[in-house]
Amino acid sequence: MKKSALLLPVLISLVFTPLFYRQQAGLNVLLFNLLLLALLVGFKRLSLHNRMQTIFGSGALLSAAMTAVFGESAALFANVLSLILLAGAVSYPAMVVPLNGFIAAGISLLTGPITWLKQLGSLGNERSKTAGFFRLLTLIVVPLIVLIVFIMIYSAASPFFQKFTGNIAMWFSEWINRLFEWINPAIFFLSLAGLLLGMIFFFGKHFSRLTLFNEDRGEVLVRHRKPFSGRNTALKTEFRSGVILLVLLNLALGVMNVLDLIHVWVNFEWDGGYLKQFVHEGTWLLIWSILISIAIVLWLFRGNLNFYSRHRILVILSGIWLAQNAFLALSVAVRNMWYIHYFNLAFKRIWVFVFLIVVLYGLYTVTVKLRRRRTFQYLLIRNTLFAFAMIVLTGFFNWDAIIARYNVKHAGQAFFHTDFMMYLDSSTLPYLHLDTAILRKIDSVNKSGFPDHRYYASVQIFQKHIRERSRNFKKGYPRLDWVALNISDVITYRKLSRLPEAADPDQDAKLKK
């Protein structure tokens, strides 16, 4: 790499700090990602011909663009995840299994700063004063900082060690406090974070031996013949055991699915409760059941049973078992739909659907593995990339606004959770300015159908809170720096500006009647 690359961590730090100091997520996220990706391509750390680097780089760019549009936490989470995996892919170009990107990124957190300092120390010739200074920094100062960190940990853990070291931890803490009297702590740590990001992305290295998942097996299963041990019944015994197990499991799950079909799909009746056991515990128990079912199939087909002459019977039974689990996943979706029908939309109810899509795709890939004799590596790659794509895709929607519009539309039919609704993202404020008729309808439905409504904020408190937040937003929006703007805030400000300060001054009095 060119010597000029040694300045890149400093450049990243100088850009990162003003972009994010006291700023919300918006245009700054997109600008940072564009700069980072451009520098990675320019200094040949990122290749458009590398599959994993292209996938995670695209994910970072798309999620950053959606953050600039919505400022949503879903898009921001997708961007952070993309950058972590991209850091791993950049430091480990030969990566095949995406999950190894987390390990590679973690290792780059250590190797990046070390490599950067070493290259700084090698600048110039042997007698160069600059080279001597950075060699001294690498050999003495860095180990000294690490030593101080551990001394502080040991001092906090043991009063005896603290006394032995002469209260060095207290002295160091006082020195840090004095330093922060002159330097803004937030700016200091943001600058440090930017510097560290530059080191990770441009100087991070990975050691292929430290991968968590094996990448050498390929995606097509190969038969490994073992020397004859004098026994030829082991495979037959394993086959028979697998057949018995799958027959019994299919029967048990068949009963479960028939009962779900009758009581959940066709004849569901709500008893007026909060559906906690029906949805919360029931949903997650069924999801765990599906995951364990996948694990059982993978265990059965872990070895040479894939090549057994009669293995087709086991494949058919496994296919039935996986199909039943797919139906079970659909039953979970129906449970979730009933929950939404009576209690409106919420984030966790949306994520259940997203997770079920990933699970259904996982069941499909397991079926492909059985029929086409694929390896576990095939499952890891396909399912990890699909899950990553789903996470990035969730950032393409303003979920707060979707929830607000849906719940307001169904306010007279389902429970309106005032405590939850009045703390949604600011983009929902225009949708939550409700007139007297809708507020009365919400109050009536909550009181008549849900006995525990008294534990939640009243519609009067909800209305007052929305008005107050709207006023604060209209006052605060003009003060935002341009780097913190997002399109959603622009639209929200325009919509709120067209609304009167108080649609009806006597609305609170009307609601109390």
pLDDT of residue 34: 97
Q: Give 389's contacts (C-beta < 8 A, 6+ positions apart).
A: 59
Closest among 409, 422, 429, 448 to 488, alpha carbons compared: 429
pLDDT tens, the chain, 513 aa long: 677 788 999 999 999 999 999 999 999 999 999 999 999 999 999 999 999 999 999 999 999 999 999 988 999 999 999 999 999 999 999 999 999 999 999 999 989 998 888 887 776 554 555 556 656 666 666 677 677 777 777 777 777 776 676 666 666 667 667 777 778 888 988 999 999 999 999 999 988 777 878 777 777 766 666 554 445 566 677 778 888 888 998 999 899 899 989 988 988 877 766 666 666 666 777 778 888 888 888 887 776 666 666 778 888 888 898 999 999 899 989 989 998 998 899 999 999 999 999 999 999 998 998 888 888 888 999 999 999 999 999 999 999 999 999 999 998 888 899 999 999 999 999 999 999 889 999 988 888 877 676 778 899 999 999 999 999 999 999 999 999 999 999 999 999 999 876 545 445 555 555
Degrees to nearest 5, angle at CA 350 with 347 and 352? 110
DSSP state of 226: P
Residue spans of alpha helices (H) in 71-167: 73-91, 100-121, 129-136, 142-157, 159-164
Structural Rg of the chain based on CA atoms? 29
Give yes or no for a contact between 55 and 382, defined as CB atoms under 8 angstroms apart. no
Query: Is-contact 335 289, C-beta < 8 A?
Result: no
Instruction: Give the angle subtended at the CA of 166 by the CAs of 161 and 171, to the nearest 5°.
Output: 110
- DSSP classification of residue 466: H
Decide if 202 contacts 9 (C-beta within 8 A). Answer: yes
Question: What pLDDT was estimated at residue 381?
Answer: 93
- What span, in angstroms and rounded, lies between the C-alpha atoms of 19 and 3? 26
Look up residue 158 and give its two tokens.
């043991």
Q: Could you give the dihedral angle defined by the CA atoms of residues 172, 175, 176 and 182, in that order, rounded to the nearest 10 degrees?
A: -170
What is residue 219's predicted lDDT score, i.e. its pLDDT?
A: 74
Residue 280 is predicted with a pLDDT of: 66
Quick one: pLDDT at residue 505? 45
CB 421 within 8 A of CB 404: yes
